Structure 1
Amino acid sequence: MPQTAAAPDTRVVQGACPHDCPDTCALQIGVRAGRVVRVAGDPEHPTTHGALCTKVSRYAERTYHPERVLHPLRRVGAKGAGRFERVGWDEALDDIAARLQAIAARAPEAILPYSYCGTMGLVQGEGMAARFFHRLGASRLGRTICSAAGSAALAAAYGGRVGMHVEHFAASRMILVWGCNPITSSVHFWTYAQQAKRAGAKLVCIDPRRSETAERCHQHVALRPGTDGALALGLMHELFAHEEWLDRDWLERHVEGWDKLRARAAEWPSERAAAVCGIEPEVVRTLAREYAAARPAAIRLGYGMQRVHGGGSAVRLVALLPCLVGAWRQRAGGLLLSSSDWFAGARRDAWLQRPDLLGARRPRTINMVTIGDDLLRAAAPEFGPKIEAVVVYNSNPLAVAPEGAKVARGFARADLFSVVLEHFLTDTADHADYVLPATTQLEHWDAHSAYGHVYALLNRPAIAPLGQARSNAEIFRGLAARMGCTEQCFRDSDEAMALGAFDAARVDLDALAARGWTRLDVAEAPFAAGGFPTPSGKVVVDAPGLG
């Protein structure tokens, strides 16, 4: 059973962390007399192993926070002033639906959803919301703010966002922690890195900043920001210059175009790479020698390096390093940036999001990072209709989008209708015409894939929603009903969507329901004999359109 007694007066509900974090922890929620009294990590879940970060162990404080929004609110003051009056759900949804319906009748692309990873859930994220906006024909949102460049890089080289298993870092002989600070952002990976360190592995942190992680590694390579690609090319130059360091057999069998990579790396001797990176040439030479000798060697790649000009190319170059030394032959060798695409085909994305509801329509895509510019644009043939309505959920664009002053001016437009689904009155919510109270992870159903491991997870509601809070899915379901969306998919419950989020052919749904998580069937050393998800099954060096 997913709920087991921990004490005579306490029950335990299985859950999943909703945060944008590679660890995607399995939770055990202790409930006593209808109130959450404890949030703990599931000790049986292999990558959570009973531990949580401080933020999530105190998640109940978010749910019970005295400043939480618990009733629908309607703006009564100037946009940005944060002055609202309390209204009923029917009044709020009726008015929102009527205003969106009027816009959709003449220019559906004038409606824009704005969301990101306030929850990583497949139901409360882009589940019912995607169905709703596809049905309207609203503008699409390009969710590019975090990982688009790195994702494109992995797709170009490996065919998708795939990598080694995080658990196997514990057996690596050398770990390059490149462009991330896992002590603060991936604590469970760090426990595996510490296991490797205690067993004699060398840890090297490559980061412009002397982070908390860098302080605890054997070596810190403090390269200049934006020079990661140069360092990767310098390392490749040394590897190619020492034939005995290469795994020529693996290269020839499983890397397409590696001779072109050799030619490119020849242009980057250690002296040139070091000069660009702001380090000593000997650092490049020694790091290459030790990386080649430490078998298996592993790279934990973070998202920092891709957020500069040329960052995607840098990620692609780093992703090619394990191929030169045959690191993929062993389960504790290779690289991990994201495991997202191990779930490709395991998640029922088309069923969850229903893009078929668009029919023949092909709405424009608005890049979420240009929201400040786009909210201030007039209608034009090359842009399309002026944005007249924005529905914000799982995000706070005034805090996260670039050029915040422009974003604020856009949301302050008198003629812009905006609705925000939130837990608190954020600076975006302060500009909204309506703020709708959303449930927290402790109060709703959801299902989760991960981008740092290969376990699917189920989140069950531990308590009833506080106040008048409703789940994102329930809110969009209510709007759809008021706007004449009669398709059966708009009647699917949150529970049905959570339990149906994964394909039974790829995910053990009985295990998922029974214990709240289950592992995908991914080989321990997934690329020991190649088999990358590219058309050829090989790693691709010279990706079309990317150089």
Structure 2
Amino acid sequence: MIQRIPHCSHWGAYTILVEDGRIAGVEPLAMDPAPSDIIHSVAEWAKPDRRVLRPMIREGWLARREGSDRQGRGRERFVAVPWDEALDLVAAEIARVADTHGNASIFAGSYGWTSCGRFHHASSLLKRMLNLAGGYTGHVDTYSIAAGPVILRHVLGDDRACGGQANTLDNIAENTETLVVFGAMSPRTAQSEAGGIGAHYLEGYLRRIAERGVRVIHVSPLRDDLPGWVGAQWWPIRPNTDTALMLGLAGEIVAAGRQDDGFLARCTSGSDEFLAYLRGDADGQRKDAAWASGITGLPAEQIRALALRLVDSRSMLAVSWALQRAHHGEQPFWAALGLAAVAGQIGLPGGGVGYGYGSLGGVGAPFSIGKSPGMSQGAKPIDSFIPVARISDMLLNPGAAFTYQGETRHYPDTRLVYWAGGNPFHHHQDLNRLSQAWTRPETIIVQDPMWTATARRADIVLPASTSIERNDLAGNKRCDLILAMRQAIAPLGQSRSDFDIFDALAGRLGVGPAFNEGRDEMGWIRHLYDESRAHALRAHGFSMPDFDTFWERGHAPVPVQRDHVYLAGFRQDPAGNALDTESGRIVLGSKTLARLGHDDCLAHPAWLPPAEWLGKAGRDELHLISHQPQGRLHSQLETGAASMGGKRHGREQLRLNPADAQSRGINDGATVRLWNARGACLATACISTDTAPGVAVLPTGAWFTPAGDGPELSGNPNVLTLDIGTSAFGQGCSAHTCLIRVAPHAGDNRDPMRTYQSQLAEMLPHPEETP
């Protein structure tokens, strides 16, 4: 008999079909108009091949604890131990480091996407436990988006415009006349959403935009960052030069005397300084179409024509999150705001600027105005954090100063790293540098379902169950449903749920009752749902079904905001709806940034050449873009059918323009070597006219598989990417600022997946050694 189990993951809601305790199939949520194929890969979680099946301790650490040879991480064998012994060791390490060095020396990195569940959220549960035990050093912002929200918090007062609360896409689809897409607006990236997604709406909005005949300009090095059927005009810009295009467009509007002086005077501060920069008053360089053309590689006449169209029609600027994952990544977000302000379109239906449409599935969709379910991390007893992408800097430079949002802080002396449900050896840049930094802490604990590259480099590994082996619920501010995640199969091996692991540790640390509040798994799930249900009724008069009905049905609607126009009230009454900025208005010239004097984040939007770009590339260098793949999210489910469909010969595919491939003697399907001063990896060549000349594309998420002194085998782009902050102000990830060389490779062609499995097998105990 087949059981039908409702469930949800980051890439969608679905029903798992279970027969005799095994997954027999997966069906998408019936109300989802564009379900993701990734849902059919979840059966991979039930396979033991890469699963952590029992608690493990690195042999050298077990013998010498904090005095062990840390170079043994990733090479030494593991020893299997009983759960009680592993939990005792973890609790003792937390207590030792806190007592000896202080709680700031505990880094709870735990940035990851292991599950969309709001209860068994590994990162939140870890931080809840550590807050009760005295605190920890955490991180702020994300690898996906850091520089963008930092600058928007300063110039708009908050980061709602890049978190899904700019103009909603239903409003754009019905009112916009000219849509300029900077970067991507793609169903590929819209497959996924933090906290889960019920229905995928982006494709429907794009079809309505095409149906209405909206003039769409697509500014990207990759033509397929927007579906071809939208009918957009493709502008194949040089990577990392969007800021120059935005400033050139704004400069053309100003040169023509077409700027909206009334809007600038009423709704912005510092606009005189910004306009002076566009005119070139200080540097003698007008920021106009000819200037922008020389930087971006786009025709000047096209830029001039678009500038006038932006003021002659209802225009919307859609800026992808990807643009701010680059050196000086604050600038395209700020420059787009400046362009929209000069055009006077902000606060109008279908007009203005928004960030991240399609970067996640819920950005731009009608957004929840209810209370999203989620576990509280509790009060933070200490104030210690780093920007998320500065992990290697922290580990390599204890005590060193860093700046962030105008503050000067210092990196802690990190002795213990506890990572739950994540994989920095996927997310982080310059993995060879991270490998060096990873040898600095005394102890590294990893809690995860999978033997990721990070778990392999741990001292203590705790086996967590996957979401299909426990009960949970999904939902977030960018989803119009709360979704049940019912357990489908029994936990594999000795794996335990994240809550059970942290509850056991909290008990050993003397904070058990405060951690669990007397609730078990289903008690917490019911409690979190009932909190959201009560808030919906109290705040919005919106009735949600009772818990038992929700749990049986598998989903429940939440109150949402549709047809939203960002800053409409502010435009109408700037004084009565003042922004939380230094002036109460949109900041185009910043007194704060002028005082700080950062040379990499000026007091107004500006073109600042990045550390690596095609404007200063060597004759044979290409600009590498590392984006999300079609068939998986990050490094999850890499061996699933959807992910494998994007690989060739077991490796990731490197997309190249035909001219770049021909000049290097590279044939489609050939193995190629990519390298720069930071590292090297292998990939399989894919020749594509959808890729601009001078640009190479390698998706993220291949499992990091170094092989001695040779190139990384699987095609992981983060062996090549640049590990520097976007600026002294934002300190975001600069992954898209990366030059490489590429050549045919006739050397080591070992299968990376078999190699990974073989390397792992050498580190694990034989079955007879298992207690």
Q: Given the two structures, how large is their TM-score scaled by the length of structure 2?
A: 0.60
Structure-2 residue corresponding to 1:520: 560
- State the Cα distance separating 1:32 from its structure 2 match: 4.7
Deviations 1:388-444 (A, max 9, x none): 21111232123322332232233345x621111122211111111222222323334
Identify which of 352, 357, 378 aligns with 1:354: 378
Equivalent positions of 1:485-504 (< 5 A) are: 485-491=511-517, 492-495=519-522, 496=524, 498-499=528-529, 502=532, 504=535
Output the CA distance in 2 between the equivalents of 1:501 and 1:321.
42
The one-letter code of the counterpart of 1:286 is: A
1:270 CA drift (Å): 1.6
Partners of 2:116 and 2:591 in 1: CA distance: 31
Amino acid at match of 2:10: P
Query: Which residue is 2:738 aligned to?
Result: none
Bigger Cα displacement from structure 2, 368-377 vs 397-406: 368-377
- Given candidates 523, 529, 532, the residue that maps to 2:569 is 529
Instruction: Find the counterpart in structure 2 of residue 289 from structure 1.
Output: 308
Q: Distance in 2 between matches of 1:511 and 1:529?
A: 33
Kept after mapping to 1: 8 A contact 2:249/2:306: yes
- Partner Cα separation in structure 2 for residue 376 and residue 474 of structure 1: 33
Which aligned pairs between 1:146-157 and structure 2 lie closer than 5 A?
146-157=144-155
1:18-37 → structure 2 map (5 Å cutoff): 18=10, 25-37=12-24
Q: Which of residues 318, 322, 328 in structure 1 aligns to 2:336?
A: 318
2:669 matched residue in structure 1: none
1:137 aligns with 2:184: no
Counterpart position of 1:185: 189
Contact 1:174–1:201 under 8 Å retained in 2: yes
Letter in 2 for 1:445: D
Matched-pair contact (CA < 8 Å) for 1:26–1:516: no
Residue 387 of structure 1: CA displacement? 1.9
Q: 1:539 to 1:26 in 2, by over 3 A?
A: farther
Q: Where does residue 388 of structure 1 map in the other structure?
A: 415
Q: SS of the counterpart of 1:164?
A: coil
Q: Which of structures 1 and 2 has the larger relative contact order (alpha carbons within 8 angstroms, sep 6+)?
A: 1
Query: Which of 335-344 and 89-98 deviates more?
Result: 335-344
Report how many residues are paired: 520
Shift of 1:464: 4.5
Correspondence for 1:70 among 50, 53, 57? 53
Query: Aligned partners of 1:37, 1:239: CA distance in 2, in Å?
Result: 60
Is the CA contact 1:214–1:220 (under 8 Å) kept in the aligned structure 2? no
Quote the residue 1:199 is aligned against.
Answer: 212
Q: Deviation digits for residues 226-260 of structure 1, max 9, x if unmatched? A: 2222211111123334556x666655554445454
Task: Give, in whole Å, the separation in 2 of the partners of 1:251 and 1:333.
Answer: 13
Amino acid in structure 1 at the alignment position of 2:310: Y
Q: Is the contact made by 2:368 and 2:558 (CA closer than 8 Å) also made in structure 1?
A: no
SS of the counterpart of 2:592? coil
Q: Which residue of 2 aligns with 1:103?
A: 97
| Offset, 1:528 | 2.8
Distance in 2 of aligned mates of 1:27 and 1:332: 35
Distance 2:278 2:546 in 1: 47
Quick check: 1:418 aligned with 2:444?
yes
Secondary structure of the 2:462 match is strand
Measure, in 2, the Cα distance between the counterparts of 1:383 and 1:158.
28
In the alignment, which residue of structure 2 is the partner of 1:114? 109
Q: Residues 509 and 427 from structure 1, CA distance in 2 versus in 1: closer, same or farther, beyond 3 angstroms? A: farther
Which position in structure 2 is the counterpart of 1:4? none
Q: 1:38 to 1:519 in 2, by over 3 A?
A: farther
Q: 1:146 to 1:219 in 2, by over 3 A?
A: same
Q: Identify which of 251, 269, 291 aligns with 1:272.
A: 291
2:118·2:472 contact (CA, 8 Å) conserved in 1? no
Question: Under a length normalisation based on structure 1, what TM-score does the superposition of the two structures give?
Answer: 0.82
Give the superposition deviation at 1:445: 1.2
% identical equivalent positions: 23
Which residue in the other structure is 1:445 paired with? 472
- Mapped partners of 2:471, 2:590: distance in 1: 43
CA–CA separation in structure 1 for the residues paired with 2:149 and 2:435 = 29
The AA in structure 2 aligned to 1:427 is A
Question: Which structure: greater helix fraction?
Answer: 1
Q: Is the 8 Å Cα contact of residues 186 and 226 (structure 2) preserved in structure 1?
A: yes
1:371 counterpart residue number: 391
Alpha carbons of structure 1 residues 205 and 65: separation in structure 2 relative to 1, 3 Å: farther
- Alignment partner of 2:324 out of 306, 309, 331: 306
Amino acid at match of 1:67: R
Distance 1:312 1:521, change over 3 A: same
Deviations 1:322-379 (A, max 9, x none): 4424253215764243759977994587x711125x1xx33x3234433234334467
Q: Secondary structure at the match of 1:114?
A: coil
Gap change, CA 1:331 and 1:271, over 3 Å in 2: closer
> After superposition, what is the alpha-carbon deviation per residue over 1:164-199, rounded to whole angstroms, capped at 9, x for unaligned?
223444334333221236242125424422331233
2-structure distance, mates of 1:252, 1:419: 55
Secondary structure at the counterpart of residue 480 of structure 1: helix
Cα distance in structure 2, aligned partners of 1:275 and 1:506: 54
Deviates more, 1:100-109 or 1:178-187: 178-187
Query: Which runs of no fewer than 5 residues in structure 2 stay unpaired?
Result: 61-71, 192-199, 281-286, 358-362, 402-408, 572-576, 594-602, 604-771
The answer to whether the 8 A contact 2:16-2:23 is kept is yes
Aligned twin of 1:165: 168
> Structure 2 residue aligned with 1:230, among 241, 244, 252?
244
Distance across 1 between alignment mates of 2:76 and 2:218: 44
1:330 and 2:327 correspond: no
Cα distance in structure 1, aligned partners of 2:290 and 2:558? 49
Equivalent AA in structure 2 for residue 111 of structure 1: I
Equivalent AA in structure 2 for residue 193 of structure 1: L
Cα distance in structure 2, aligned partners of 1:494 and 1:534? 41
After superposing the two structures, state which structure 1 stretch, 396-405 or 96-105, moved more: 396-405
Distance 1:63 1:533 in 2: 52
Residue 429 of structure 1 is matched in structure 2 by 455
Give the secondary-structure state (helix, strand or coil) at the position aligned to 2:354.
strand
The one-letter amino acid of 1:223's match is I
Worse-matched range after superposition: 95-104 or 65-74 = 65-74
SS at match of 2:188: helix
Contact 2:167-2:566 at 8 Å conserved across structures:
yes
The verdict on how the C-alpha distance between 1:55 and 1:26 changes in structure 2, with shifts beyond 3 A counting, is: closer
- CA spacing shift, 1:191–1:345, aligned 2, 3 Å: closer
Distance 1:471 1:252, change over 3 A: farther
C-alpha contact (below 8 Å) 1:370/1:402 kept by paired residues: no
Q: 1:476 to 1:220 in 2, by over 3 A?
A: same
Q: Which amino acid aligns with 1:308?
A: A
Contact 1:82 1:431 in 2 (8 A): no
CA RMSD of aligned residues (A): 3.5
Structure 1: gaps (5+ residues):
1-7, 20-24
Task: Provide the secondary structure at the position in 2 that maps to 1:200.
Answer: coil
* Counterpart in the other structure of 1:3: none
Q: How far apart are the structure 2 equivalents of 1:433 and 1:476?
A: 18
What letter corresponds to residue 192 of structure 1 in structure 2? Answer: Y
Is the Cα–Cα contact under 8 Å of residues 53 and 463 in structure 2 kept in the other structure?
Answer: yes
Residues 116 and 143 in structure 1, CA contact (< 8 A), matched pair in contact too: no
- Look up the SS of the partner of 1:436 in the other structure: strand
1:449-477 deviation per Cα after TM superposition (whole angstroms, max 9, x unaligned) = 25xx4536344223254223323233222
Going from structure 1 to structure 2, the CA distance change for 1:525 and 1:16 (only over 3 Å counts) comes to: farther
